Structure 1
Amino acid sequence: MLNSFCTRYKCATKPINHRCKISGWLFWSPISWLATEMISGGLTFRLFPGEVLVIGSNLPIIAAPGDDVILPCHLEPMFDVQDLTVEWSKPDLKPDPSDEYVHLYRHGKEVPDMKMASYFRRTELFMDDMTHGNISLKILNVSEEDNGRYRCFIPKLRSRVKAAVVELVVDPNFAKTSTTEMPLQTPDPQDTTPTNGGGGLITPAAALGFFILLILGGAGGC
């Protein structure tokens, strides 16, 4: 089971031990293959067969103001979380007992009582996918005030990896770099000749005709 688990995550297997990195976690197993040691932040503990991981995103989610975004988070291996509590919060904010959560799911539905006011009617989970372990959060109409880290936490999950953190960056300049704009059509300088007067343009053909008339007029005067 452990061997297939790490094969799925493209682990490099060695005769004595093997290492596997999953979303920032480093796994190591002795020859017995009965358990896996997890190292994170200098702490080491064992991940036994049957435990599941809460996995977020190592990369920040970047969006423009007004976009709808999805903060990815899921359980691996696949695990039905419909009957569990799912908490989304902002760990860098001081919690307010009256509005502690960005989104709180409990007993099969959202609980808005402790929801932060700025996220009212702006968040949702993918209810149909929760049986497959998908606990990603969708946030509607994001603004720069939504910037920061978001923590997804399942308090009653039978695992010591119950949480993951996803960072959201709302950049006002993101739309300009990600949207292709049609350039303004300007005349080619080689095809136009500016006049000395009222700002009009004289085409090369008109300039040539005027020059010929000038020569003919001068010749007639002689």
Structure 2
Amino acid sequence: MLYLCFLLLGLIFTPTPLKGQYQVTSSRQPVVAAQGDDVILQCLVEPPLDMVDMTVEWSRPDAKHRPKGMEYVHLYRDNREVLDMKSSSYHGRTALFAGGLRHGNMSLIITNVTTADGGTYKCFVPKLHGNTKSSIVHLIIDQNSNLKPPKTITSETRLHPDAKRQSVLNGFGSCSKSFAPLVVICILLIFNT
């Protein structure tokens, strides 16, 4: 019984995520941009996880034709971008945030978007330990806004990854208050044995 109490207390007060709790997330709102804009398609792992050694695949599930088999918008594998499996229309126009992978930020930057770039994008992490390994982002190219100067459009990309982690830690105290009765019971069981 004593072992069970320590196990429960350890699970409650462990700040690190348990295996299987990671998930790939993105904004549910579509990214709307004008032709010529630079866009950021948000894709994050929650809770934040170092993704530097993981494979990250960005693809177009709505693509009409793939003449060379599977082509990617952006493929990151073995700590580098893989160019030979990349769709030619995206060569030289995509990137991931340089330091973002360390904090679970796999957001894709596409420069100089065209009308052909509009559609559905899939961010996929094949070897992520979790239930949700992919997320979908929709990009809409507004053809009526050609008069605006080019700009960067984003979908709520996390610029400071530690800010969310800090808010989770700040909320930890309120979460632990709901476990106060369980802690008291465990302490009583410990002293009664």
Deviation at 1:64, TM superposition (A): 0.5
Q: Mapping of 1:13-162 within 5 angstroms? A: 49-50=18-19, 51-93=21-63, 94-98=65-69, 100-162=71-133
Q: Secondary structure at the match of 1:52?
A: strand
Per-residue deviation, 1:174:
2.9
Q: Which has the higher contact order (CA 8 A, sep 6+)?
A: 2
Structure (1 or 2) with the larger CA radius of gyration: 1
Cα displacement (A) at 1:49 = 3.9
Which segments of 5 or more consecutive residues in structure 2 lack a partner in the other structure? 1-10, 12-16, 151-193
Give CA-to-partner distance per residue, 1:34-66, whole Å, 9 cap, x none. 9xxxxxxxxxxxxx9432110011011000100
- What secondary structure, in the 3-state scheme, does the structure 2 residue paired with 1:91 have? coil
In structure 1, runs of 5+ residues without a counterpart are 1-33, 35-47, 180-222
Residue aligned with 1:113, SS: coil
Deviation string for 1:94-119 (max 9, x for gaps)? 44445510000001110000100100
Q: Cα RMSD (Å) of the superposition?
A: 2.2
Give the alignment partner of residue 163 of structure 1, picking from 134, 143, 146.
Answer: 134
Aligned partners of 1:177 and 1:129: how far apart in 2? 29
Match of 1:145, SS state, is helix
Corresponding position of 2:191: none
Contact 1:99 1:113 in 2 (8 A): no
TM-score (norm 1): 0.56
Higher helix share: 2
Give the partner amino acid of 2:44: H
On the 8 A contact 1:85/1:156 being kept in 2, the answer is yes
State whether residues 99 and 117 of structure 1, in contact with CA within 8 Å, keep that contact through their aligned partners in structure 2. Answer: no
How far apart, CA to CA, are the structure 2 residues paired with 1:108 and 1:49?
Answer: 25
- Listed one character per residue, the Cα deviations across residues 124-144 of structure 1 (whole Å, up to 9, x for unaligned) are 001211110000000010000
Structure 2 letter corresponding to 1:52? Y
- What CA distance in whole angstroms lies between the structure 2 residues aligned with 1:88 and 1:133? 15
Q: Which amino acid aligns with 1:100?
A: E
Alignment coverage as a number of residue pairs? 133
Q: CA deviation at 1:159?
A: 1.2
Change in Cα spacing, 1:177 to 1:115, as seen in structure 2 (3 Å) is closer
Counterpart Cα distance in 1 of 2:24 and 2:109: 17
